[in-house]
Amino acid sequence: MKAQEQYLSVIKFPSFVSLMLIILGLLLAWVIFIAYRGIWPAKWVTAVLVICFLTMVFMVLMWIVTLRSTYIRIRPRWLQRLSKWMLIYVFYNLANFFRIITFSNRNVLTESFLNFNNETVLTDQLDVRNSNIMLLLPHCLQKSDCPVRVTSNIFNCEECGGCDIAGIKRMAAEHQVKAALATGGTLARKLLQDYKPNVIVAVACHRDLLDGVRDAWHLPIYAVLNERPKGPCFETRVNLASIEFAIQRFK
């Protein structure tokens, strides 16, 4: 990825959220100006405008907290959870709405959101030593004609080098982390329930990672996008250095 594209991929999500908050703030200011320009409005109008104003102030304050969570660990814990919930269910939707009205590319925004979320996860795990790290991988990483059954146990891989599973197996053994292949969202959820990891390094495509990070928003999930040189869901690849970087930061 070129440096300019990488930079855009990082700033797109926070820029979209900030622009949406500015637009909403200006709209609210305009409505308040119209409402109080002539005759004094009815009490219920005032009540609605006060609620809207307080909501706006709350969202701006939480956005500042969320931006800070990319470089400072947020404490107390309830504020960190609230900030994460707002990131997933409010700020992502604001950015996505801005994407729709500006006809922007969905995958670029998703990538930017995942990068932003990764920063919050890394910051929250700063100086935390995790003993239970899990690599959650998509089954499409495996070579399509591989006869070995690795979905039940990645360590069954015979390391022929035909796909990236071999490298991931070696990495998982070296760092003593759990690794599992999931054939879908249901199995991924079951694996998380069974293993109860402290932190997850998940590899998948844009859509699956976005769904996973939003579904399990309360868990620290570091997202690594796979590469799809042969098209979606078929013999995908992954940058092993990105996985190793995450493991080393969480260990």
Classify 198 as helix, strand or coil: coil
The residues binding ligand SF4 (CB under 6 A) are 142-143, 146, 148, 150, 157-163, 165-166
CB of 89 to ligand SF4, least distance (A): 37
Distance CA 56, CA 47 (A): 14
Q: How many CB atoms lie within 10 A of CB 248?
A: 9
Query: Given the complex with ligand SF4, which of 111 and 164 has the nearer CB atom?
Result: 164
Q: Which two tokens stand for residue 87?
A: 């990131």
CB of 139 to ligand SF4, least distance (A): 10
CB of 159 to ligand SF4, least distance (A): 6
Query: Given the complex with ligand SF4, which of 122 and 148 has the nearer CB atom?
Result: 148
CB of 142 to ligand SF4, least distance (A): 5
Distance CA 116, CA 113 (A): 5
Question: What DSSP state is assigned to residue 232?
Answer: T
Query: Given the complex with ligand SF4, which of 153 and 176 has the nearer CB atom?
Result: 153
CB of 149 to ligand SF4, least distance (A): 9
CB of 134 to ligand SF4, least distance (A): 19
Q: How many CB atoms lie within 10 A of CB 75?
A: 9
Strands (E), the chain: 133-138, 178-182, 199-204, 221-225
Query: Given the complex with ligand SF4, which of 65 and 146 has the nearer CB atom?
Result: 146
Query: Given the complex with ligand SF4, which of 163 and 243 has the nearer CB atom?
Result: 163
Query: Given the complex with ligand SF4, which of 58 and 155 has the nearer CB atom?
Result: 155
Percentages helix, strand, coil for the chain (3-state, rounded to 5) are 60, 10, 30
CA distance to 2, 218, 245, per residue, from 215 (Å): 31, 8, 24
From first CA to last CA, the distance across the chain in angstroms is: 28
